[in-house]
Chains A and B, each alone.
Chain A
Amino acid sequence: MNDRYSRQELFAPIGKEGQRRLGERHVLIIGAGALGTGNAEILVRAGVGKVTIVDRDYVDWSNLQRQQLYTEEDAIQRMPKAAVAAERLKKINSSIEIEAKIMDVTPVEIESLTEGIDLMIDASDNFDIRMIMNDISQKKQIPWIYGAVLGSYGISYAIIPGKTPCLSCLLETIPIGGATCDTVGVIAPAVQMVVTLQTAEALKWLTGNEEAMSGRLTSFDLWKNEYASIRVDKLKKEDCPSCGVRAQYPFLSASNLSRTAVLCGRDTVQIRPPKPQSLDLDALGESLSSLGLKVERNPYLLAFQPDHRRLVAFRDGRVLVHGTKDTAEARSLYHRYFG
């Protein structure tokens, strides 16, 4: 037994008992981008018993400015974020369990992902997935911590089923369009500030210090030097479809499932296979090469470039079509190469 956690145990509100509790908890982090890598590193160093990190994307050069677990080599190799993050996290703390999931999260996947989970951290970049997290949180009574960042602005709120309002209560309508896509850029300090707000609340919850939680919707703008914090308890709605007395969890219904998604601010369309499958990347690579296409590979994915577009296929059958936001064009390219 080394003194890895000694400074955290000396912090009285946590102590040895809080540390022991932390070691028995399982946290699910959805997203392995800027917020995901920041949250994961803090929680793994803190000694959460098990951390599962999920992401559907791979490392790109534009990530390196703020996504703290990745290196240039990962961008060159186009390594899947979840896999690389887990590998780095295991080097940081080998005494806990770390699990990587390279996948898209839909109402189908969220059911199994949340088995035995004590807390979910929102490190996603869109409200489609957040509404799914919000509904599963209410259905299974698992708290989750919303966090988001844009430019120099950030926001966070911890949602505890049965106690606080849920995200549906606060939003009433889902924010769409420009407000959610990161077309205005983002600076790393704003990311780190949201990570700080999220992980502080996470540590309170996981170590049995619920009474210390802020209960506030908090935002800041590091460029305008503003800080706001609002107690939102009164916004909890009796007739909320996600957390009200007759909750129906609308975002968990499969009818909301779309096979194509335009990725936020990325000029990229993601296409999922009609049903879950395992893609044989070796065989696919050979058949594409025989068509005269240049194929790039790593153990997790395969990339090629037909018609000035880049297609990236993952083992789980998902394909990213880069260079377009047009779902019809993306589908047509998908069908040409994947049937």
Chain B
Amino acid sequence: MKLSINGNTVEVPDNIRTVSELLQHFKLEQKVAVVERNREILEKKDHPTTEVRDGDVFEIVHFVGGG
């Protein structure tokens, strides 16, 4: 399916069903990430239950520490 992520159109496997699985796909599951789906910000506890659908628009910001 096609998603818009951080302004770019991205093709991801159809077996990705939840936001948690999407974060795993991008290897972000170990990091602290803030996710917005279709302009709606998600609580971290909702990542495992929020569905990902074709055409969804995501903004994903993950935290890093360097300076």
**Chain A residues in the interface with B (C-beta under 8 A):** 31, 33-36, 122-127, 130, 147-150, 153-155, 170-173, 175, 177-182, 186, 217-219, 221, 224-232, 234-235, 264-265
Contacts and interface: CB of A to CB of B under 8 A. Distances in A.
A80 B67 CA distance: 17
B7 A228 contact: yes
Interface string B1-45: 000011110000000000000000000001110101000010110
Nearest to B43: A235
26 contacts: A33-B67, A122-B67, A125-B67, A126-B65, A127-B65, A148-B66, A149-B64, A150-B66, A155-B61, A155-B62, A170-B34, A172-B44, A178-B30, A179-B63, A179-B64, A181-B66, A182-B65, A186-B66, A218-B61, A219-B6, A219-B61, A224-B8, A225-B8, A230-B36, A230-B59, A264-B66
A4 B36 CA distance: 43
A148 B7 contact: no
A31 B67 CA distance: 8
B64 A153 contact: yes
A149 B66 contact: yes
Given A170-B34, A172-B32, A231 B65 contact: no
B15 to A, nearest CB: 23
B67 A148 contact: yes
Given A36-B67, A219-B61, A175 B7 contact: no
A234 B41 contact: yes
Nearest to B61: A219
A148 B65 contact: yes
A17 B21 CA distance: 51
A227 B65 contact: no
Nearest to A237: B43
A34 B6 contact: no
Nearest to B65: A180
A179 B31 contact: yes
B31 to A, nearest CB: 5
A175 B66 CA distance: 12
Contacts of A153: 64
B37 to A, nearest CB: 11
B63 A171 contact: yes
B34 A175 contact: no
A124 B64 CA distance: 11
Contacts of A228: 6-7, 59-61
A182 B66 CA distance: 6
Nearest to A125: B67
A179 B65 contact: yes
Contact of B32 (A149, A171, A234): A171
B63 to A, nearest CB: 5
Given A175-B32, A179-B30, A150 B59 contact: no
B65 to A, nearest CB: 3
Nearest to B28: A179
B55 to A, nearest CB: 18
Contacts of B43: 235
Nearest to B40: A234
B67 A123 contact: yes
A181 B41 CA distance: 28
A148 B8 CA distance: 23
B61 A147 contact: no
Contacts of A175: 31-32, 63-65
Nearest to A194: B67
B58 to A, nearest CB: 9
B61 A148 contact: no
A175 B32 CA distance: 6
